[in-house]
Every structure is written in structure tokens, then in C-alpha cells.
């Protein structure tokens, strides 16, 4: 019998099925996917407890987004003129999208 060291064991990711109410059978209320963990790192405890970094294709499949994107976060280099960056992104994304600068 092979020893389970917790490294080779796949991680089970669950996401609620959009538009489906919680059911008595909770397994049917969630999409699930087993994935291999490729690496781990820490940013800070608050971030680590709230977020996981995963491939876009995996999350698209779990959340049934059909290839659509609802947000993009861009980190600008120091001294970047945010108004110019927002204008450039708007030109690429088109009029169906709104830009928000913080």
C-alpha cells in the first residue's frame, strides 16, 4: 500500500452551480474537479485564506462562463498615467466594457 504524503493527492475544487438553489443533495449543487497541485506560495494570511490561483480554463469550466470574462485586473508600473492606460484598454476591449481605475 502506497503512503499518502499529501503531495500527490489531487485537490478537490468545488464551485456552486450558477442558478441552482441549494438542494438536499449538496453534491448536486456543486461542480467539482480534482486537480494536481503544481505549487504553493504565500502572500499574506488574509489573501491566502481568500484566494487560490487556478488556470482560467479550469475556472471557466467549473463556473460555466462559456469563455466570457467579467473582470480583468491590471497592475501598472510606477509612474504610469492611469488615464492613458484606461484609454488604451478601452480601445482594445471595446464599448461593451467599462473601465474602473482605483
How far apart are alpha carbons 41 and 53 in whole angstroms?
A: 10
pLDDT of amino acid 5 = 58
- Let me know: does 48 contact 42? Beta carbons within 8 Å: yes
pLDDT tens track of the chain, all 102 residues? 455 555 678 888 888 887 766 666 666 788 889 988 888 888 899 988 888 888 888 988 888 888 887 777 888 999 999 889 888 988 888 877 777 766
Please list the residues that pair with 15 across neighbouring strands. Answer: 31
How far apart are alpha carbons 7 and 41 in whole angstroms?
A: 14
How far apart are alpha carbons 69 and 14 in whole angstroms?
A: 20
Amino acid at each position: 500500500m502506497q503512503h499518502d504524503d499529501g503531495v500527490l493527492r489531487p485537490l478537490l475544487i468545488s464551485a456552486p452551480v450558477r442558478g441552482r438553489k441549494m438542494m438536499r443533495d449538496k453534491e448536486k449543487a456543486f461542480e467539482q474537479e480534482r486537480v494536481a497541485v503544481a505549487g504553493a506560495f504565500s502572500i499574506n494570511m488574509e489573501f491566502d485564506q481568500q484566494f487560490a490561483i487556478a488556470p482560467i480554463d479550469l475556472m471557466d469550466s467549473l463556473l460555466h462562463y462559456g469563455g466570457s470574462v467579467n473582470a480583468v485586473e491590471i497592475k501598472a508600473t510606477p509612474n504610469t498615467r492611469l488615464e492613458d492606460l484606461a484609454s488604451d484598454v478601452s480601445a482594445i476591449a471595446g464599448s461593451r466594457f467599462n473601465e474602473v481605475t482605483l
